[in-house]
Amino acid sequence: MTDARKPRRPTFRDPAALEALGERHDPIAQLHAAHETAAALVRVGRAAEDPAVTRRLVALVDEVGLSTLADLWATRPAASLPGTLYRLYVLREWVRTDPTGVAREYEAGIRFTEPNHAVAGADPAGPDEVMRVADEILQGVFAGDLAVALERAAAFAHVVAAGRADVTPGMDNVVRAGRLQDLAAELSAAASLWRAGDLR
């Protein structure tokens, strides 16, 4: 066997050598960064007791962009604080992107899930109201009962999912409605974890 075809033993590269090659991905550091930033955001927001700070945290995506939060939190599971926060910011961004469509689906869903409508509180169900509710949910994370905010977000997703399945035809929208139901279940579970002191 020629030298060119001999199998080579893997070589060990220390972190500095990997960094020099551009291989900077450190999953443990990413994991810590996700959880530390989420915990710090909630801690600072809840300690501030300042409406201006709360407004800024609610509108965080407007300032840093959803992609920045995705880089930090999107890979974390739903049953974690960064995963939960990411889902709430995605929910707000989705509502703000299409408030008319969300309001139409929300209004259609009320008759199927009146108790969830009562919890979500988008009344009347217009574009301005659904945007207000999306903001109020995040306000509750930083200046209210976080578990109640999560339950409100779950209820909102349930109502929209029911309306979407009813008024927007097509299998794609049935699938999307199912994803919203999954989101609602994840947020409800996160609320229980927060109450138990286990949402980290």
Mean pLDDT in residue range 91-120: 96
Query: Quick one: average pLDDT of 168-176?
Result: 84
Q: What does pTM read for this prediction? A: 0.85
The H-or-E segment that residue 200 falls in is none
Q: Is residue 200 part of a domain?
A: no
CB-count burial class (<10 Å; 0-12, 13-18, 19+) for 185: middle
Average pLDDT of the chain?
89
Given a cut of 80, whether residue 59 has pLDDT beyond it is yes
What mean pLDDT comes out for the span 14-26? 53
Tell me if 9 is assigned to some domain.
Answer: no
Decide: 134 and 96 in contact? Cβ < 8 Å: yes
Q: Is residue 141 part of a domain?
A: yes
Residue 14 lies in a domain: no
Whether residue 2 is contained in a domain is answered as: no
The total of structural domains in the chain comes to: 1
Q: What is the pLDDT of residue 191?
A: 98
Average pLDDT over residues 55-84: 96
Contact 114, 147 (CB under 8 A): no
Tell me the residue range of the domain where 130 lies: 25-195
Query: Each residue of 69-79: pLDDT tens digit?
Result: 999 999 999 99
Q: Are 135 and 164 in contact (CB under 8 A)?
A: no
The answer as to whether 3 is a domain residue is no
